[in-house]
Chains A and B, each alone.
Chain A
Amino acid sequence: MIFYGLWLLRDSGLWPLLIVIGVLWWIVTCQWLRHFAFGAAPTRENQLIKLGAGALVIFPAWVAGMQIHGQPPYGHWWTLLALAIVWAADIGAYFSGRLFGKRKLAPTISPGKTWAGVYALLSPAPWLRVSAAGCSA
């Protein structure tokens, strides 16, 4: 229902606002990860905070995705590019972590991730993979 409402409001100026809010929220989220004990206790209040946090991620993400997808003439391809960058980075991080991963990145937050994965992420490899795929297509 909310998605449908957002769709109806797509030309209203609400969408750019939501996208900005979504981006700002991700900055807040990074701070939350640094103080990950915040909201960890399973109280009613913390539940509500987490539901709000989820909403601030999901709805701006959907709005931004649809904004990109609906942009002629290449919106579909831009959407695919956005996904492809994430896929390539994740695949690279996964395999380099598998091969070289020794030192844990953030054991308290996400126990599987290693620094080797970060280096693969920051290396030019994901961009190369995406552009190679783009050129061969």
Chain B
Amino acid sequence: MLLQRVLTALLLFPLALLLVLWPSTEIFAPLVAIGFLVAIWEWTRLAGVTNEGCAPACWWHRR
């Protein structure tokens, strides 16, 4: 578990560095927005919002 955490951090650190330092804010903003959207989705699940009663169009979204 610890090893996995450390390896993940070592792998992701250069990527995070690159993401923050390299792009202009016009590029940085949508990239971060995508990440934040994932966070929002996670939050809706924590808040107890589910797809039950949702149209068949999003059946694939249910797991």
Does any Cβ of B come within 8 Å of A25's Cβ? no
Does any Cβ of B come within 8 Å of A32's Cβ? no
Question: Which residues from chain B contact A4 at a C-beta distance below 8 Å?
Answer: 33
Q: How far is the CA of A55 from the CA of B37 in the complex (A)?
A: 11
Question: Which residues from chain B contact A46 at a C-beta distance below 8 Å?
Answer: 48
Question: Which residues from chain A contact B30 at a C-beta distance below 8 Å?
Answer: 3
- Count of B residues near A, CB < 8 Å? 21
Q: How far is the CA of A66 from the CA of B32 in the complex (A)?
A: 9
Q: Is the CB of B48 within 8 A of A62?
A: no
In the complex, how many residue pairs between chain A and chain B have their CB atoms under 8 Å apart? 55
Does any Cβ of A come within 8 Å of B49's Cβ? yes
B20, B32, B33, B49: residue with the most chain A Cβ atoms closer than 10 Å = B20
Can you give 26 A-B contacts (C-beta < 8 A)?
A3-B29, A3-B30, A3-B37, A4-B33, A7-B29, A47-B47, A47-B48, A47-B49, A50-B43, A50-B46, A50-B47, A51-B43, A51-B44, A51-B49, A54-B44, A58-B39, A62-B29, A62-B33, A66-B28, A66-B32, A69-B20, A69-B25, A69-B28, A79-B20, A80-B17, A83-B20
Point out residues on A near B: beta carbons under 8 Å: 3-4, 7, 42, 46-47, 50-51, 54-55, 58, 61-62, 65-66, 69-70, 75-77, 79-80, 83, 98
Q: Closest 8 CB pairs between A and B?
A: A50-B47, A70-B25, A3-B33, A54-B43, A69-B25, A80-B20, A42-B48, A76-B21
